């Protein structure tokens, strides 16, 4: 999702959802300190008291800029117009100017022996935002205008398909709804112009390779126009990062994880190495099943899979093609969408149910303002940014979600995820403004997803969605695990490669001329995915993924997919659960909730290993819980893939 205001200290990106995270002294700050100590006469160095006064003034300025910027960004996301784009660009520019000023002023205290808490705050300010503007006249305004424009271009994205496409029975059925009086109403485009929501529905449900190729390529016609602005933005934020002492913006991003920037790159490769064997078995199995559906010409067994065949516009999750890969010899699982429809759920009831999960663990109910001010369903009368997101507009109680919720099992999971952000935001509301954020950005994304892992059949019985005699037996475990793996396990390499691409853009490994080739090289290397046809010379396919023009760092999602399983295992161990990890639900367990809340209350006030240890007992992120969770599926996949040629040519184009 787009993380808008998870920390007030992320002042430079008030409208752009790219907050920095707390860290201990980086290698760069240590070098700065040594240099300053060696060159600054002791009698002229700032004092601890001056540092304290600086931090107090910085906090006041941050709160004020945040207050204005948060509301401008909320209005812009809910009313996407030329004027609201301008408002949010202005607010973002003010935040960027403040961030630049505070970053440079904070350097004065490099050589000062400060208490640990003050040093942590100073280092956070020195790093500024993930998108620092250069410290020169006009740079912050230019950067803010570009970033708001990229975001707006994506939000308004549309493309055309031949009108005869919408005369097809399978397409017409997708956009036809049954009304209360029994009549059917066509809700699809009349002129062949479709938006992302409509295109996403087509990608999820259609099984015609040629039509899916048209839709997939059509959406990517919105992004070439972004390329020049994106290139200029990279130049600006690299310049800003270098002024802060980093080689490039990628190094700045990686420095936000309580470890050296290069060490963090090694750490994520280590985590990927833990889970890659499971992904490769899943890839091999799914490719084999798609081959049986589409044949060798469409799905060759020795090549990466066509990206348009996996049921998702970005092939980042594959759950929509589960019916094509459903284990033939496994009992069926649970159709949550059908259960929601059968029980008369609407969008509001879905959100209420998600809230109930958190309150069952002892968390306080959401405030009335949440229900009054959130956007839960898509308005009919205006453009909104539909990408689901969680907001905290005052760093206290004014939490909200923005989501074009539909009554589906996928959105049922998503509302739990988004409320996880809100409950985390409220948990650390008493922290100083500098620490109102997750322990690292992966923590924030993992909270709600950890709750989502407790949405088991047994949980659905407890809330009245499923009859007790409808709970699948152990013979359905493979189907249940396969369905979730096609979303969660399939996502892992995508979650990793998005920022790996940006790191290569930032450090110059990729030039504007090779942006697109580099994107597909990484997708092939990590995901085993390829485009359905050669891409045009002017293609800018990264821009067709929201988080690139929306400027939201993506490594948080990879880390979240590691951490959510680690959190889940720790919670189930604390609850005394005995049985397969995928059958555990901590719904109603207030003891787990109490310990979980204690971790969340820390915010980013301590290095993330401290927060992780407070809940899990370990100071290391660890992918082994994923392997435990999916152990029965791994055995099944290895059996099914026996005799198949797995893997792919990682240099394939």
Residues 6+ away with beta carbon under 8 Å from 426? 364, 392, 397, 399
Has 502 been labeled as part of a binding site?
no
- DSSP string of 145-184? HHHHHHHHHHHT-EEE--GGGGGSHHHHHHTEEE-TTS-E
Backbone angles phi, psi at 562, to 5 degrees: -80, -50
Q: Which of 417, 428, 442 is nearest to 612 (CA)?
A: 442
Distance from the Cα of residue 165 to its chain's centroid: 33
Please report the DSSP string for 604-629 in residue order: TSS-HHHHHHHHHS-SS--THHHHHH
Structure letter (DSSP) for residue 159: E
Selection from 48, 230, 51 nearest residue 126 by Cα: 51
3-state DSSP assignment of residue 134:
coil
3-state helix, strand, coil in the chain (%, to 5): 60, 5, 35
What is the spatial distance between Cα 259 and Cα 328, in angstroms, rounded to a whole number? 46
- Asked if 502 and 528 touch (Cβ cutoff 8 Å), the reply is no
Helix ranges, 295-399 (H): 322-325, 336-342, 347-360, 368-373
Catalytic residue among 444, 547, 568, 582: 547
Catalytic pick from 217, 243, 289, 418?
418
Q: Is 547 a catalytic residue?
A: yes
Q: Is 257 annotated as a binding residue?
A: yes
CB-CB neighbours of 543 under 10 Å: 25
Residue 543 in contact with residue 549, Cβ under 8 Å?
yes
Q: Which helix (H) or strand (E) holds 402?
A: strand 399-402
CA torsion 573-576-582-587 (nearest 10°) is: -100
The three-class DSSP label of residue 51 is helix
Tell which residue, 98, 130, 117, 182, has the closest CA to residue 499: 130
d(CA 649, CA 653): 9
Taking every pair of Cα atoms in the chain, the longest distance, rounded to a whole number of angstroms, is 84
Query: Is 582 labelled as part of a ligand binding site?
Result: no
Of 56, 237, 55, which Cα lies nearest the Cα of 135?
237
- By CB atoms closer than 10 A (0-12, 13-18, 19+), residue 467 is exposed
DSSP letter at 365 equals P
556 annotated to a ligand binding site: yes
Whole-angstrom distance, CA of residue 442 vs CA of residue 562: 9
Judged by DSSP in three states, 247 sits in: coil
Q: Active site includes 416?
A: no
Is 445 marked within a binding site? yes
Annotated binding site for Zn(2+): 417, 421, 445
> What are the catalytic residues?
418, 547
Annotated binding site for chloride: 257, 556
Annotated binding site: 257, 417, 421, 445, 556
């Amino acid at each position: 999702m787009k993380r808008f205001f998870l920390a007030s200290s992320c002042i430079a990106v008030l409208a752009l959802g790219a907050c920095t995270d707390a860290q201990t002294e980086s290698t760069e700050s240590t070098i700065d300190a040594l240099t300053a100590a060696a060159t600054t006469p002791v009698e002229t160095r700032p004092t601890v008291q001056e540092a304290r006064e600086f931090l107090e003034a910085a906090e006041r300025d941050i709160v004020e800029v945040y207050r204005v910027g948060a509301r401008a960004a909320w209005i812009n996301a809910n009313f996407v117009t030329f004027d609201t784009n301008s408002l949010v660009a202005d607010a973002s520019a003010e935040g960027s100017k403040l961030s630049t000023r505070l970053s440079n002023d904070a350097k004065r205290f490099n050589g000062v022996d400060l208490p640990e808490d003050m040093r942590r705050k100073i280092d956070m300010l020195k790093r500024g935002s993930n998108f620092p503007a250069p410290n020169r006249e006009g740079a912050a305004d230019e950067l803010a205008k570009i970033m708001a424009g990229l975001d707006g271009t994506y939000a308004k994205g549309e493309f055309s398909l031949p009108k005869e496409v919408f005369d097809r029975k399978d397409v017409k059925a997708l956009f036809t709804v049954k009304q209360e009086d029994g009549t059917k109403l066509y809700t699809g485009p009349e002129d062949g112009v479709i938006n992302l929501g409509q295109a996403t529905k087509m990608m999820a449900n259609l099984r015609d390779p040629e039509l899916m190729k048209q839709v997939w390529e059509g959406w990517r016609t919105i992004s070439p126009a972004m390329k020049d602005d994106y290139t200029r933005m990279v130049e600006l934020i690299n310049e800003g990062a270098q002024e802060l002492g980093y080689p490039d913006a990628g190094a700045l991003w990686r420095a936000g994880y309580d470890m050296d920037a290069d060490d963090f790159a090694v750490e994520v490769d280590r985590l990927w190495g833990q889970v890659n064997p499971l992904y490769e078995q899943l890839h091999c199995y799914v490719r084999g099943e798609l081959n049986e559906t589409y044949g060798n010409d469409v799905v060759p067994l020795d090549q990466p899979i066509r990206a348009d065949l996996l049921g998702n516009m970005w092939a980042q999750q594959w759950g929509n093609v589960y019916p094509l890969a459903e284990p033939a010899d496994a009992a069926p699982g649970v159709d949550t969408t059908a259960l929601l429809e059968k029980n008369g759920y609407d969008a509001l009831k879905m959100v209420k149910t998600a809230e109930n999960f958190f309150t069952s663990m002892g968390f306080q109910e959401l405030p009335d303002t949440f229900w009054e001010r959130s956007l839960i369903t898509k308005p009919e009368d205006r453009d909104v940014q539909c990408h689901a997101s969680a907001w905290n507009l005052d760093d206290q109680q004014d939490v909200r979600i923005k989501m074009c919720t539909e009554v589906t099992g996928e959105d049922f999971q998503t509302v739990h995820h988004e409320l996880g952000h809100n409950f985390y935001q409220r948990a650390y509301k008493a922290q100083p403004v500098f620490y109102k954020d997750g322990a690292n950005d992966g923590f924030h994304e993992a909270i709600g997803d950890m709750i989502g892992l407790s949405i088991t059949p047994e949980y659905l019985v407890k809330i009245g969605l499923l009859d007790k005699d409808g709970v699948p037996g152990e013979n359905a475990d493979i189907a249940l695990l396969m369905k979730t793996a096609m979303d969660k396990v399939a996502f892992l390499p995508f979650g990793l490669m998005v920022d790996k691409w940006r790191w290569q853009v930032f450090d110059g490994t990729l030039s504007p001329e090779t942006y697109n080739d580099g994107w597909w090289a990484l997708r092939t290397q990590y995901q085993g995915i390829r485009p359905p046809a050669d891409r045009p010379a002017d293609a800018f396919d990264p821009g067709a993924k929201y988080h690139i023009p929306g400027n939201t760092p993506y490594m948080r999602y990879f880390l979240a997919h590691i951490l959510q399983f680690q959190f889940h295992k720790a919670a189930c161990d604390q609850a005394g659960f005995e049985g397969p990890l995928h059958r555990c639900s901590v719904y109603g367990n207030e003891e787990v909730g109490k310990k979980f809340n204690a971790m969340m209350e820390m915010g980013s006030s301590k290095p993330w290993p401290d927060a992780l240890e407070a809940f899990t007992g370990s100071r290391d992120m660890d992918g082994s819980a994923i392997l435990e969770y999916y152990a029965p599926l791994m055995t099944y996949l290895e059996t099914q893939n026996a005799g198949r040629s797995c893997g792919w040519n990682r240099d394939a184009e």
